[in-house]
Chain A
Amino acid sequence: MRVLAALSGGVDSAVAAARARDAGHDVTAVHLALSSNPQTFRSGARGCCSLEDSRDARRVADILDIPYYVWDMAEQFRAEVVDDFLAEYAAGRTPNPCLRCNERIKFAAVLDRALALGFDAVCTGHYAQLVPGPDGPELHRAVDPDKDQSYVLAVLGADQISRSLFPLGDTVKERVREEAAERGLLVADKPDSHDICFIADGDTQGFLESHLGEQRGQIRDRDGAVLGEHGGSYGFTVGQRKGLGLTVATPDRSPRYVLSIEPASNTVTVGPREALEVREIVADRLQWCGPAVGDGERMSFQYRAHGESVRGSVRVVHDALVAVLDEPARGVAPGQTLALYDRTRVRGSATITSTRSPT
């Protein structure tokens, strides 16, 4: 196959591209220039990407002896990922920009362009497995549970999955690093990136404040009593405990958590841990990677990127679904993606709109 390997400049995408090449594919590398933010990127004025990452990616391509290009996706990235990130927070929801980037950029704009230019597939360093199935490749969790990224790929449809290569899904991260070193890839020791790539200093709160402005509002308990003030409801996520800045303590000094965010009145409601528990998760924007999940099917549900999954059954309501959980879940934030798993297989995803508590 003719394969377009996305090289971020990190170790995972480098080893993924190397494995695709070793598998006999005709591999071409692209580095995506995703940001023109001059704070994150030195040559911002001319729309360049991070020079260091771009150089690292170029050196990987040199060592693999494959062609290398930079694709400027900054405009699409701003419109589809960064603006969406801000709008979601402004609406009191909690977005996942990596997932949005996969959905709209890597496996949409980039994949489309690659196919049009004569490539057969896009290869990335995501930790997830593609397993041949009767209806085409199935998306499964990676063998390394700490690195599994099937959740951020759960937004992809069957056609996107069938045009993807994830060569790292069967390997643990430690081994990927060793392999990078064995292959002489200079990025073998490069630290993992954890932060949101377009917020260079890692200060999400500061980023939101500078883009959305200060909006003072109140923090209340479930009875409506004012417990404190905040500078913008967008700064909170359901389930958050730290950084609430509350001045009135609970009588037993037990911690309080964000229960809900109401952007219209700019109010953040807090309460005890047990009030976070939800039994039902309502989600829309259904996306199946394979056959649709039917009413009553038993599934595992994962509702945030680094979290456990909970078992339950699906109730399909028109173009939305309700996940009815066996055990209560905590910290379920509207805006996050609900991924549906059948054992290790990703069956699809939906966007969380609301939750219901135990009755």
Chain B
Amino acid sequence: MRTVLDYLDRTAAAFPEKVSFRDEKTALTFAQLREQAMRGGSALLKDGVVREPVAVYMSKTPDEIAAFMAVLETGSFYVPIDDEMPQMRIKLIFENLQPRAVICDESTRESALELAGGAKIYTWSKIRTESADEDALSKVRASMIDTDPCYIMYTSGSTGIPKGVAVCHRSLIDYIESFCDVMKFDENTVFGSQTPFYFDASLKDIYPTIKLGCETVIVPHTLFMFPLKLVEFLNEYKINTLCWVVSALTMISAFGALDEVLPKYLKIVGFGGEVFPIKQYRKWKKALPDVRYINLYGPTETTGVSMYYEVDRDFEDDDVIPLGHPFENVDIFLLDENNKEADEGEICMRGTCVTLGYYQDPERTSQAFVQNPLNNRYPEIIYRTGDIARRNDRGELVFVSRKDFQIKHMGHRVELGEIECDVNSVSGIVNSCAVYLKKKDRIELYYEGRVEEKELLAYLKEKLPRYMVPTKVHKLDKLPLTPNGKTDRKGLTALSEGK
């Protein structure tokens, strides 16, 4: 097995007529998925697109998955861009990526033409019907190796410039093999897809589906406002497996939806992105005691999930659900400030899961992807997560905190520094400080400058992804400082919490 396309070939042969991906409007069988990938891929190859980044700028549909596969058919790597990303962010991504080819759909075409610079724009509905050139495709396939990149996912960076994590086929295969074993998926698994495709959490639905012949149903975004309708949707499509960010699960339980209607087909709930509040977890467990609950942890930089814990015991309200144990073929260890192994320290990872690094960004790559400090005998790159964990008396790892000002908000990684960077770039702003209120799961912002609160908030909504926009902004005459002259983030957090 060299590339994830081998999964698709195998599954399309085993289950040609089975639905692979569907939403409310369309469904693609595995045979259709493969055929469209080959047709679209051939169209790109004809223009000489090969072994290069291809941005896929489409709305979240089954077609988008087919477009990803088409890109892979050319030996290239896909870069998901979402129609819900702010234009400014898309611009920054294109600047870093410099793509020659962008695939769009009817809904994104105009915006793609505007943002893509010199790139050629392909409309998916056109190229997916072109004829497949099997010779050209197999030639490319034969030349591919498993360390070729498969995709790039952009994540938040503290300087305001997003970082593109490049991941090769081998890392993805290694992850998906272990993940499917741990979760015990099979061809009867029906996923309800919650996370955007530009977010690595979506790999948990996409690739097990392609490997095993499962079905993935794309859950309409708007349902995440209306918990009862959401559960009814899960029942309508007989969805039995959720790999969701915690905030999407707690949205259902916190509003008491589980007292009204149960997702009755549910068998497996994988959760991640942030810590699952025990109180909410217990509501799920009580309503659906036979469901398997599995905590999934891992940063984008180590492909996806690297650690898991299947909940096997009761927890008190003030407990934390452990991160658990590493997947097979992943080594995880904790390093203290002196780079010595410790029972509490920064989570570091070693193995095939460690990705290729940040695209066209050697400087930031070398800060996080480093030589293993415990090994001075041969080159060995590990990834430093910036997450602090401790080992409990059962030998499981438990999340403690972040080393820096990165937070998890609604399942997304957010650098408070990135928000501040954007605010500080507004003319008239002197300085700013973003704070995160854990209890309320909200971001607020303090700043000093000549700009009105409303004006600033409106600007930030244009510029930042939705999950990074502060709920409130507060104008101050002067930001408070700590004794050593830094902005007093703790003090401001306390101020907001007291409100």
Check if A and B associate.
no
